[in-house]
Structure 1
């Protein structure tokens, strides 16, 4: 399953919609997606969303779409 994770780049600043970014990650659950991002980045996670087929197809049209992998 592919999840869209929206986040702020740091945990210190107040969240602002204009600074919200997104990454895409393939995992088995939203809990695992959140865990991987928390363990591998300093990001302040706002939301983890499962992408259904139609929404995934829409997101894949964006030039910014790229699956993130953590080692």
Structure 2
């Protein structure tokens, strides 16, 4: 099952999902590379929270800490 990591630190979420393939994706669509996950916050995920993980990698939709999550971004 996918844990609810929304709002959390991207690095901490990656560590929490130890052993699961994780890919970070810029939630704004700007395709910025996540070099330091600790400086990014999670807006949503695919699959969404509490859903069965059926494919890998799990995608974490993230924005830099200083930015707000875009409207409508979730799992």
More helix by share: 1
Query: Shorter chain as normaliser: what TM range?
Result: under 0.3
Give the TM-score normalised by the residue count of structure 1.
0.26
- Greater C-alpha Rg: 1
